[in-house]
Amino acid sequence: MTDQPKLRLGTRQSPLAMAQAGEARDRLCAAQGWPVSAIELVPVRASGDKVQDRPLAEIGGKALWTKELDEWIAEGRIDAAVHSMKDVETIRPASLAIAAVLPRADVRDVLIGAASVAQIPRGARVGTSAPRRAAQLLHHRPDCEVVMFRGNVATRLAKLAAGEADVTLLAAAGLARLDKRGVGTPMDAREWLPAPAQGAIGIECRADDTVTRALIAAVDDASSRATVMAERALLAALGGTCHSPVAAHSTLQGGDIVLRAALFSPDGAERVDGECTVSGSDGTASAGLAADLLARASAGIAVHFGGAA
């Protein structure tokens, strides 16, 4: 082969993002029979990584994770970008295509600092910047106090160790990808619903770049794509934003997907649940579930939905 890489994969610079990009590279090289050197990882500093002292929703939402990578693809500086799918806006530019969703990892949240939600000390401070985690925790434990936690996994664990909070919640998939398995207690995803698309890595490229799309499609996992897209269709139909406390969990049953979801008021006092069976890929069932949830939601919940995701 020549000295030029066959693909340039863009990624955010955080340790977790780099680990995810490494997984994407390794899977692509294995599928194509390439040496690891055939794919160059190109770190790009995302806007969301530059501001750590405010909640994401206050400074621009999920687009802060994708903006620079989108620009680099458009400019031809990279061929594709690796994303954590839960951080990708549901409405994407028509010029881009999600060419692959890698086999989905553990979708669960992990509770760190207590053995269970019931065993969190009364009045404890819970560190999180995720509206879903905050609302779901307050729904079960209204006596607790939520304190804002942003930063990468190591930063949040360091804040916890420094006593800035008593407990926190992190994604099991992220901990595993950073070789931190065994930290904390995994939550039952049937009782503590995760974020839509949690645990999934996606690879995005130009929609009209047929060569790159075909190369990347070799690592697309059909069942993972199906569950992720069902959850993203739900989020899109809800008009969910970074402010919206929404949780979702998909399970495969035969050829269908059973999608469960819950919407919360930010203080956790109000909750509405529902589920549907997704048989196709057009998002109709997910949209129907979204409509049903919003129809039954209180004003305290509904006001946080209906915007652009």
Residues known to be catalytic: 87
Would strands 167-171 and 109-112 be described as parallel, antiparallel, or unpaired?
antiparallel
For residues 71 and 37, what is the distance between their CA atoms, to the nearest angstrom? 24
Dihedral pair phi/psi, residue 247, rounded to 5°: -130, 150
Q: Which of the 8 DSSP states describes residue 184?
A: S
* CA terminus-to-terminus distance, the chain: 42
- Cβ neighbours, 10 Å, residue 178: 19
Distance (Å) of CA 216 to CA 8, 67, 127, 169, 207: 12, 21, 37, 32, 12
Among 183, 296, 294, 197, CA closest to 247: 197
Among 259, 258, 239, 256, CA closest to 248: 259
Among 247, 195, 249, CA closest to 227: 249
**Rg over CA atoms, the chain:** 19
Count helices and strands in the chain by DSSP H and E runs: 11, 13
Q: Are residues 106 and 127 in contact, defined by beta-carbon separation less than 8 angstroms?
A: no
